[in-house]
């Protein structure tokens, strides 16, 4: 490993440069954006590498001869920062293709930190069943939840009860008590005014609202607002293991001319295995296939005639916090194949290569990840190592705001 300490000031400066504009704009961003961010808070780092919902700054191959600094962004997230009104449902639907897209651009430097060309790319999620905000399953489950249906009855009965209160001041007080009970996180059933609680109990009893009665009587100190949060978190979690399939195209240029040095066509699939309860570790299946066009060195002119097909399939073990359910450590074991499809150069020592890979991702803070990748070639016995750093802007924003990491991490 070459001296990674040399990189530290460089990394910090770049992180700050990209973060500061985001902080100033955040003052005008509606709370709705936070909720969209939270919807993705429980995704694994591996999942975010496949599709970024917001922004990801990545430093690739830090100890290798070809280092990269790249920014991956979601165009919808960028537009939302500019105009929070785009989170309104009709626009949210209209911009679905943009929400499912990622753009990427960056630059390459050599081992002496000299510019070595640009990189850019586009990615689109053909299938994304992991998004709670658009999931029909989540919406249907919310509408058909038995406690939800009984609460509708309770609200209607409370409305009729309130209508019959003669004194306007008492009526207002009753409405305020009702809203506090139904909506706030500090008014549990156990702390209700006894007279108001009696009204609730009578309505529950007379209308057979048994599911709601169980919720209130079994956890009297838990406000309904908290019950809602926990239920929704469970629902969101239930779809996190569904399918995510992306297609992408990426390119790199030569350092002296804006001309493609290589082009990658790539597809990625990620699927959680089974369901897991909050805080339980889980597994993800991850596969990708890449068709690469690069320069055939036998030819004098610049070209893209050397073509390589490669693929990788692996299993990612996600270790989650028992309290927040967020992943903080991941370990992926995978096998990969790489084969030259055309224009084999005599300098290629072998046309096919199979490697065994291990990638460890460590969440060092909020959503700053350090993936360390080790590749082992059983044929030659060679071992290659890659050290990367990946961070997203919302996490950095929270750090600079004072360390609030709970709901804003991507």
Partner 1 sequence: MANKKSIANEIKIQLGQLTLNSKQQQKLQKGIHAVLVKVLSAPTKDPAPVLNGKTATLHVVFTGTIPGNSELTANFNGTEQTLTESGDLVFEGLITGSIISITGSSPGTTIVTIDIKADPASMTFAPGQDINGLFIILE
Identified binder of partner 1 from the candidate list 12, 16, 28, 35, rule CB under 8 A? 35
Q: Would you say 193 and 177 are in contact if contact means Cβ atoms under 8 Å apart?
A: yes
Report how far residue 250's alpha carbon sits from residue 122's, in angstroms, rounded to the nearest whole number: 6
Establish if 195 lies at the interface with partner 1 (CB under 8 A). Answer: no
* CA gyration radius, the chain: 26
Establish if 151 lies at the interface with partner 1 (CB under 8 A). Answer: yes
Identified binder of partner 1 from the candidate list 3, 143, 218, 274, rule CB under 8 A? 143
CB of 385 to partner 1, least distance (A): 40
| Cα dist from 259 to 70, 71, 254, whole Å | 18, 20, 6
| Cα dist from 84 to 26, 246, 335, whole Å | 10, 27, 43
Establish if 159 lies at the interface with partner 1 (CB under 8 A). Answer: yes
Neighbours of 4 (CB within 10 A): 12
Identified binder of partner 1 from the candidate list 16, 17, 127, 139, rule CB under 8 A? 139
Q: How many residues does the chain have?
A: 410
Between 232 and 331, whose beta carbon lies closer to partner 1?
A: 232
CB of 95 to partner 1, least distance (A): 10
The dihedral through the CA atoms of 8, 66, 53, 315 has a sign that is negative
Report how far residue 10's alpha carbon sits from residue 308's, in angstroms, rounded to the nearest whole number: 33
The dihedral through the CA atoms of 23, 24, 25, 27 has a sign that is positive
> Which three-class secondary structure state does DSSP give residue 51?
coil
Q: Which of the stretches 147-155, 305-313, 368-376, 380-388 binds partner 1 when contact is defined by CB under 8 A?
A: 147-155
Contact map string, positions 203 to 242, toward partner 1, x by CB under 8 A: ---------------------xx--xx-xxx-xx------
Establish if 22 lies at the interface with partner 1 (CB under 8 A). Answer: no
Between 92 and 243, whose beta carbon lies closer to partner 1?
A: 92
Q: Which of residues 78-97 bind partner 1 (CB under 8 A)?
A: 87-90, 92-93, 96
Identified binder of partner 1 from the candidate list 38, 44, 130, 241, rule CB under 8 A? 38
Report how far residue 197's alpha carbon sits from residue 150's, in angstroms, rounded to the nearest whole number: 17
Between 154 and 261, whose beta carbon lies closer to partner 1?
A: 154
Between 145 and 251, whose beta carbon lies closer to partner 1?
A: 145
Tell me the Ramachandran region of residue 182: left when phi exceeds 0, alpha when psi lies from -120 to 50, beta otherwise: alpha
Establish if 114 lies at the interface with partner 1 (CB under 8 A). Answer: no
Report how far residue 124's alpha carbon sits from residue 130's, in angstroms, rounded to the nearest whole number: 14
Count interface residues toward partner 1 (CB under 8 A).
53
Establish if 31 lies at the interface with partner 1 (CB under 8 A). Answer: yes
CB of 225 to partner 1, least distance (A): 7
β-partners of residue 360 are 331, 372
CB of 88 to partner 1, least distance (A): 5
Establish if 175 lies at the interface with partner 1 (CB under 8 A). Answer: yes
Token pair belonging to 258: 């804006």
Identified binder of partner 1 from the candidate list 163, 195, 206, 256, rule CB under 8 A? 163
Query: Which of 125, 146, 87, 407 shows the shortest CA–CA distance to 248?
Result: 125
Q: Would you say 41 and 240 are in contact if contact means Cβ atoms under 8 Å apart?
A: no
Between 129 and 297, whose beta carbon lies closer to partner 1?
A: 129
Q: Distance between alpha carbon 375 and the CA centroid of its chain, in Å?
A: 26
Q: Which of the stretches 178-186, 278-286, 322-330, 334-342 binds partner 1 when contact is defined by CB under 8 A?
A: 178-186
Between 148 and 375, whose beta carbon lies closer to partner 1?
A: 148
Establish if 178 lies at the interface with partner 1 (CB under 8 A). Answer: yes
CA atoms within 13 A on the CB side of 11: 19
DSSP characters over 364-394: EETTEEEEEEEEE-TTT--EEEEE-EEE-HH
Establish if 172 lies at the interface with partner 1 (CB under 8 A). Answer: yes
Identified binder of partner 1 from the candidate list 12, 127, 155, 400, rule CB under 8 A? 155
Positions that interact with partner 1 (CB under 8 A): 30-33, 35-36, 38-39, 87-90, 92-93, 96, 132-136, 138-139, 142-143, 145, 148, 151-152, 154-156, 158-159, 162-163, 168, 171-172, 175-176, 178-179, 182-183, 224-225, 228-229, 231-233, 235-236
């Amino acid at each position: 490993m070459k001296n990674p300490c040399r990189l530290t000031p460089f990394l910090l400066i770049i992180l700050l440069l990209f973060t500061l504009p985001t902080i100033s704009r955040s003052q005008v961003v509606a709370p709705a954006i936070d909720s969209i961010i939270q919807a993705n808070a429980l995704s694994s780092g591996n999942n975010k590498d496949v599709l970024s919902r917001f922004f990801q700054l990545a430093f690739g191959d830090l100890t290798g001869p070809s280092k990269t600094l790249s920014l991956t962004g979601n165009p919808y997230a960028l537009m939302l920062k500019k105009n929070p009104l785009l989170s309104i449902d009709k626009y949210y639907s209209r911009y679905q293709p943009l929400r499912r897209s990622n753009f990427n651009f960056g630059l390459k430097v050599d081992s002496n930190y000299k510019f070595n060309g640009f990189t850019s790319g586009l990615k689109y999620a053909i299938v994304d069943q992991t998004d709670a905000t658009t999931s029909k399953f989540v919406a249907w489950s919310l509408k058909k939840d038995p406690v939800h249906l009984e609460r509708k009855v309770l609200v209607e009965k409370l409305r009729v009860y309130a209508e019959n209160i003669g004194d306007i001041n008492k009526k207002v007080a009753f409405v305020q008590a009702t809203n506090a009970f139904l909506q706030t996180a500090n008014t549990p059933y156990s702390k209700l005014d006894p007279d108001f609680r009696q009204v609730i109990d009578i309505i529950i009893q007379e209308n057979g609202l048994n599911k709601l009665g169980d919720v209130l009587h079994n956890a009297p100190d838990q406000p309904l607002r908290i019950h809602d949060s926990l239920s929704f978190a469970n629902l969101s979690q239930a779809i996190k293991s569904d399918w995510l399939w992306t297609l992408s195209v990426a390119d790199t240029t030569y350092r002296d001319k804006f001309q493609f040095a290589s082009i990658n066509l790539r597809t990625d699939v990620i699927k959680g295995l089974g369901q897991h309860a909050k805080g339980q570790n889980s597994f993800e299946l991850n596969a990708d296939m890449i068709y690469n066009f690069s320069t055939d060195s036998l030819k004098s002119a610049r070209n893209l005639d050397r073509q390589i097909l490669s693929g990788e399939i692996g299993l990612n073990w996600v270790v989650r916090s028992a309290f927040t359910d967020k992943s903080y450590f991941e370990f992926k074991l995978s096998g990969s194949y790489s084969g030259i499809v055309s224009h084999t150069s005599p300098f290629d020592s072998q046309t096919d290569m199979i490697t065994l890979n291990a990638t460890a991702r460590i969440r060092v803070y909020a959503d700053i990840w350090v993936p360390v990748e080790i590749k082992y070639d059983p044929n030659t016995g060679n071992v290659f190592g890659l050290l990367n750093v990946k961070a997203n802007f919302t996490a950095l924003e929270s750090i600079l705001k004072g360390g609030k990491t709970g709901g804003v991490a991507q």
